[in-house]
Structure 1
């Protein structure tokens, strides 16, 4: 009995070890800012792989992957990819380069090589079969179980800094006062590049005509910033004397043409040199990923189990660093005189999201983890309750609504600190001016008084679209092109909406209305005020103040009902729950979409007519955020699809296929 127990335990342990080994998350670098996990098993639980093959064949995606797929109807089944395991896509942003990569599980490496390697040069790098793109900034390698993809994009701003140009021997940028002479001898410019001993390094760029392979002392553990393995032979001078003074339009045009041509020559030369550096970094980093020498993402961050209905999972770490990598640093910091990008800290520690299929409902869920300071600010700001007197206006026939609740007092109180935190680092040496602006608003704004006027709970209800007769001026011309003005009318479609917000101090609104009435610009009709209307506009606004609520709407009759206490509607329970519970929500009654298209006269192609009409079978489109709970702010987008494909993902994929055919 004991032997049987031991054997069973060993089998289970071996199974667990195998499953963990198959999950490639342990090979994702810990420094990754972005991680996308594709739950391929869940994907093909909801989709037929043959349908996916057919779709990719229609749009030509498979042809771009491999010529071997041309005409194939089962490329995905024959690709050798393991669809029972997860695939990972990741990106890391640094001040100099953005790495992007993926880890794809394989069940048949031979089939994978046959598909992706057709008509491509396969090299052997560090024992792995590999394929590079033309400029060698993207590498695909594979072993028996995994396909590894790694690429890099360089940050132009970083390599334009003087100390970086000097470090790597890069050419000086083109100045509009100088010409760029590209001498013939520059064709013999030689880069000495260290490459792995077993690699097959091919000529790949017109600007690089010679490469020297050196086999000794290949250190794969070198820091990415270490360039000891790369030697650039100094380039000959490439700048000539300045142009003489340009004093004619023709000369100016020729000067501009010369400048742009010179700039293209400069960027081509610079990019070629940097691509060699990128290629070296990619090979170093790829070896670290494959060998496990780089720290693992899974060891640094907690990775939860993906449920069967989760199709994909997104995680953004160090959101500030990721965001600032997309800022136009070369423009921003040249304007304010800073040499380097400062560290941005927006109080967001991690952003995550999931694509979820629940029957015929498709959901996109997201949340952001906040630090203690930002969490405290936003909790106070989004602590406002909705005025329950608004809710009966949310009947089931409305076209849609938007609700938004924030505590005005807390918003004004904490906005100076948030403003300083967001914009202070972006202005460098001028950050003191940001402090002054924040202090100025902190002093002059009385948050308690403003919060009484505008408490912060809002509900905008869109009832539909209403035809309105509009007067406008037209012009009639005689034979001598003399004209006279003619008053005409036309029918336009105007939104029928009602906006409500609470106010404990309505004096400012009352005084403004009285002033407008005295100037004959506002009409008071039994307590409902008609606001000024622009000539030729179909939009006429009306305003009512009653029981601490300010109503702004387009339907005077409805406001009169509210004024006379004759409004007798009962709200739709689902809509009322959303508006009452969530800090922010947008709901669109998709069933009324076909009517909206017809009412507004939006032209619809015949091929799209059936798709538009089918919107009447959809459920509501809902975007909602519950505010801050613990240290997270969350949001969710959902839509119910018609139940004719079995599940939401299959329906959406089928719809995409139909549109491609059309």
Structure 2
């Protein structure tokens, strides 16, 4: 995307924060859109006015990035000609051959947009009331009239162009005939275009483009004469310099010219010559061999062939893009995204931003390279999803939900059929902790459903292997027995960071006899201070493991608790089994209080409900971590100051999952707004300002 296009897109997305509700262009979004992002200007204008936004660093940065010829004419973002009183949209429309990323914005003054393009020396065509701008290869398009502006960035899919019938029709290389040898026949590949691949370069070597002569640059070896130094013994006597023997250097390997498939190598070959016969001349050891003799080759035929392939693909994509854009502004009766009930259901007037995906499973397969998953369906059973951002007076909230298939929803309900152990609250002191994370799942149900999940993921291409693996898994594991040892609920409490004095061994060299001596030293290391609680019912296996560890001197029995004693442990670790709970922590005093029933707990109703009423919950207080990060030699002092400033400015953060409703699984993350802040939007800008300083 060129500089102007980047500025235009940035402006469109930023301007949305300043608009109020007027014409709504949602009916122009096609029904087959894969994803839609909605930005509500009327909600945001109540939180920050246009005038206030112009004075922020983002407003100044937007205007500052405009071309020099435009800066004098655009003193405010209102001069972009965009209607600041409506809703803005981004949507993706794609098929098996092309993907369109589109931005749809309302227009207030089309003349201002015309002037913006003219002042930027961007030529556009005019057809009645419709203006159109195309970039150099027509894969980026901006089209506008007096009502709306549409920006489209299109990109072809390699999976389509690699089909044999498509390659043959367009005159592209036949990808099915490419071998590893052919693919590696060239060392130089043109990478200036997204569509260019190494395979393309290898298969188009015989294209009828003139080949420029190979440019060769050679540097001769620099000879240095080292003067023999007169050496003096400790006794004070001088000795003549020793005879310098000829130092042997390996001859440089042959450097072959980069060739294409149908091209023959040159008969003459280049070498890096090293004179090993003259004892008075040696190569500088600090200079690599490549600096003495170097061949620089330009394979013009390959570069031209790659450009030709990219041009063919771009031409095809451009024709699709023009067709797609030409029908967009027609007043036809085609179905819009409003015919999709799931999208309509996701609309929330209170949300400032809403992102909706039609099908999560298909979206991952469409947007991720096929080579990554190789046919494995990671999100099999996951349907539509949405994420919503709420900027409120006292909090920032992000809610998300995803629709599951009937089979997947049934598995989720079984796995989440457990609550967090209430006894955990007896070992929580909210005055000490920096954060926590709690979860609860049914171990037995999870182990029973796990083979089915694996089958759904791998069954499409590894059905036989997946069936055998899952059967073996179920045969070897006794789900009932495992669920009694580890019931499935846990609580991780993070108390911050602390410094420990660590003993380690190193080596020092004796200058007298040049032998190394082993010495023991100490140093301070920063480690997390935490406590982990896991529910258990049957401790027989755990007791056997502990006894084995004590026998092997890996575990120290401290009577009521245990210490893990191994040099590989990065921090001191203590554990105990008490009150039907496995405790693992880094604070020995805290562990003693637990086993002696002396721990002082303190939990407010807010944290109590957060831990017990959700299958997953988390909390983090950034302010409590501020100032606890050690200023050691590795940490940049200025960066540490900025980090502490940022931590002090953040409010408390909460995460939670909600109960399943039908086939919909949902969750939420929120952050409190400090009392001195006016609202969430201005608070976000204040944080961004601090980060930019």
- When normalised by structure 2's length, the TM-score is 0.76
User: Is 1:99–1:150's contact at 8 Å kept on the other side of the alignment?
Assistant: yes
Q: CA deviation at 1:180?
A: 0.9
Q: CA deviation at 1:151?
A: 2.1
Query: What is the match of residue 389 of structure 1?
Result: 423
Instruction: Give the root-mean-square deviation of aligned CA atoms.
Output: 3.4
Query: What is the match of residue 458 of structure 2?
Result: 423
Matches of 1:239 and 1:419, distance apart in 2 = 45
Query: What is the match of residue 76 of structure 1?
Result: 77
Query: What is the match of residue 171 of structure 2?
Result: 169
Query: What is the match of residue 208 of structure 2?
Result: 183
User: Is 2:376–2:457's contact at 8 Å kept on the other side of the alignment?
Assistant: no
Matched, 1:280 2:319: yes
User: Is 1:321–1:344's contact at 8 Å kept on the other side of the alignment?
Assistant: no
Matches of 1:320 and 1:268, distance apart in 2 = 35
Matched, 1:493 2:521: no
Query: What is the match of residue 324 of structure 1?
Result: 365
User: Is 1:473–1:488's contact at 8 Å kept on the other side of the alignment?
Assistant: yes
Matches of 2:23 and 2:369, distance apart in 1 = 40
Matches of 2:498 and 2:379, distance apart in 1 = 47
Q: CA deviation at 1:185?
A: 8.2
SS of 1:289's equivalent? coil
SS of 1:551's equivalent? strand
Query: What is the match of residue 220 of structure 1?
Result: none
User: Is 2:141–2:152's contact at 8 Å kept on the other side of the alignment?
Assistant: yes
Query: What is the match of residue 153 of structure 1?
Result: 155
Counterpart mapping for 1:465-480 below 5 A: 465-480=497-512
Q: 1:328 to 1:414 in 2, by over 3 A?
A: same
Unaligned runs of 5+ in 2: 1-19, 186-201, 212-258, 273-289
Query: What is the match of residue 131 of structure 1?
Result: 133
User: Is 2:377–2:456's contact at 8 Å kept on the other side of the alignment?
Assistant: no
Q: 1:99 to 1:617 in 2, by over 3 A?
A: closer
Instruction: Between 506-515 and 644-653, report the one with greater CA deviation.
Output: 644-653
Query: What is the match of residue 299 of structure 1?
Result: 339
User: Is 2:154–2:321's contact at 8 Å kept on the other side of the alignment?
Assistant: yes
Counterpart mapping for 1:365-384 below 5 A: 365-384=399-418
Query: What is the match of residue 402 of structure 1?
Result: 437
Alignment length (residue pairs): 580
Rg larger for: 2
Counterpart mapping for 1:403-552 below 5 A: 403-425=438-460, 428=461, 430-480=462-512, 481-534=514-567, 538-552=570-584
Matched, 1:97 2:118: no
Q: 1:510 to 1:134 in 2, by over 3 A?
A: same
User: Is 2:494–2:528's contact at 8 Å kept on the other side of the alignment?
Assistant: yes
Matches of 2:268 and 2:458, distance apart in 1 = 44
SS of 2:660's equivalent? strand
Q: 1:342 to 1:533 in 2, by over 3 A?
A: closer
Matches of 1:246 and 1:406, distance apart in 2 = 71
User: Is 2:57–2:689's contact at 8 Å kept on the other side of the alignment?
Assistant: no
Matched, 1:636 2:668: yes
Q: CA deviation at 1:139?
A: 0.8
Q: 1:392 to 1:90 in 2, by over 3 A?
A: same
Q: CA deviation at 1:548?
A: 1.8
* Selected match of 1:241 from 242, 262, 265: 262
User: Is 2:392–2:679's contact at 8 Å kept on the other side of the alignment?
Assistant: yes
Matched, 1:355 2:389: yes
Q: Deviations over 1:216-257 (max 9, x none)?
A: xxxxxxxxxxxxxxxxxxxxxx98636579998979x99x99
Matches of 2:31 and 2:165, distance apart in 1 = 29
Matches of 2:271 and 2:324, distance apart in 1 = 51
Query: What is the match of residue 209 of structure 1?
Result: none
Unaligned runs of 5+ in 1: 1-18, 187-237, 334-340
Matches of 2:458 and 2:670, distance apart in 1 = 33
- When normalised by structure 1's length, the TM-score is 0.79
Q: Deviations over 1:531-565 (max 9, x none)?
A: 22326x55111121123211111122222222222
SS of 2:610's equivalent? helix
User: Is 1:493–1:538's contact at 8 Å kept on the other side of the alignment?
Assistant: no
Q: CA deviation at 1:406?
A: 1.1
Matches of 2:463 and 2:267, distance apart in 1 = 40
Q: CA deviation at 1:321?
A: 1.4
